[in-house]
Amino acid sequence: MNRQQKMFLAILLLLSIGFFAYAMLTGYGEEKGNELVDSSVTKITVDNFTLSATYKNDSKWEYTVVGQLPNPCYNVTTNATVAESYPEQVSITVSVQVPDADTVCAQVMQEYEYTGEFQASEEATVNLLVE
């Protein structure tokens, strides 16, 4: 390998390390807040929960909430509330109930997933609330 090839590889390596450091420091490529994936899918992340809402047709939406809980003793309920306005304002509320302090529970992460539907126009705004 001659000197020019070594120099080229060294520059390429430095550029790669620089891009990687930039991506790590700025969060490049990470999802933040509301993200419109296409014209009919909305993604929102709050705390440890992510909502994906998809407009299907005829004022029908389907949504999925996924997240993680600290352990299996936590209880979660998910509800959709549609405010009667135009466009509708839809709130998907995730309520997390913490177990009693004296509850003995295995300390292992618990995955959570909930799928539901609601009726609203395609122009509806969808929000995720975590309580």
pTM listed for this prediction: 0.68
Strands (E), 28-124: 34-38, 41-46, 49-57, 60-69, 75-83, 89-97, 110-119
Element (H, E) at 130: strand 125-130
pLDDT at 26: 67
pLDDT at 36: 42
Three-state SS at 88: coil
pLDDT at 53: 96
pLDDT digits (tens, 9 = 90+) for 41-63: 889 999 999 999 999 989 999 99
